[in-house]
Amino acid sequence: MATHTSEQLTEVVEPESLDPRLAIDIFTVMARARAIEDAVQIHIRDHGFAGFWHPGKGQEGAVAGAVAAMRDDDYLFYQGRGATWPLAKGMTMGPIIGDLLGKVTGSTGGKGAGVPHWADPALGIMGEGATLGSVYPVAAGAALSAQMRGTGQVALADFGDGTAARGTFHETLLEASRWKLPLVYFCENNGISVTTPFESVSPTRTIAERATAYGIPGVRVDGHDAVAVYHATKAAIDRARDGQGPSLI
């Protein structure tokens, strides 16, 4: 069940039902993503995989639920953590595995071998930031472009709890809020930044409550509940598309 942690936060209320076809689509993405994760683990074990794979196993629900709320032409800027993001946004298995193995069949021709940076602008997949936390300004740039062109597109910036400490997080959110950019901040908070527990470096109990400082909604939702994540993300995207500015999930 989605919850809020302070009076300033917006409570996410999960409806009792979801369109059966959408539910099947979300579950299918989760199942296929888990299959990729398992296959990669076997490859690493049996074939001496030499790259840096950032697994997303166990976090498929949050990603599949979020992307299901996006429009096909919305912009996705993801930050590692497995293959669910490009898969959910429409990329097929071939390019995903191709990039992972450094093959020309990959979406980037295998140039990001070992640390896949899947990208396909035709699907709205704008790629992964080269450094952690770099998604904020580029996603805001895409949102500004959509706002100026009047396309109704929304940009979603995915990130982890660790990079919420970077200056780009705060600088971008300040301007995005002031300009009411169609931008959604989406934090996958697994409670630890590599080896550092979240509570040992953060003065706030949650990432979501930081939204208060920028005058935007901040919501906290159970990332294992794909349906709850879908509804939280859809509310944020609808708000952004209506010209009301960014949200933080």
The 10s digit of each residue's pLDDT in 208-238 is 999 999 999 999 999 999 999 999 999 999 9
Tokens of 102: 């450094």
Q: Which amino acid is at 150?
A: G
CATH number of the domain where residue 48 is located: 3.40.50.970
Residue 5 lies in a domain: no
Calculate ∠ Cα 121-62-37, nearest 5°: 75
Q: Decide which of 197 and 26 is more confident.
A: 26
Structural domain includes residue 39: yes
What proportion of the chain, given as a percentage, has pLDDT over 90? 57
Instruction: Answer whether residue 1 is part of any domain.
Output: no
Q: Is residue 6 part of a domain?
A: no
Does 41 fall in a domain?
Answer: yes
The whole-number pLDDT of residue 215 equals: 96
144 against 199, higher pLDDT = 144
Q: Which residue has the higher pLDDT, 96 or 172?
A: 172
Give the range of the structural domain holding residue 98, as residue numbers without chain letter. 20-248
pLDDT at 123 over 60: yes
Q: Are the beta carbons of 233 and 249 closer than 8 angstroms?
A: yes
**Model pTM score:** 0.89
Flag whether 220 is in a domain: yes
pLDDT at 6: 36
* Side chain identity at residue 232, one-letter code: A
CB atoms closer than 10 angstroms to residue 1: 9
Q: Among 10-19, 48-57, 88-97, 232-241, which range has the highest average pLDDT? A: 232-241
pLDDT digits over 86-112, tens only? 999 999 989 988 888 788 888 888 776
For residue 4, what pLDDT is reported? 36
DSSP state of 235: H
Assigned domain for 4 exists? no
Mean pLDDT of 115-122: 85
Q: Is 38 helix (H, G, I), strand (E, B) or coil?
A: helix
Is 120 within the bounds of a domain?
A: yes
Count structural domains, the chain.
1
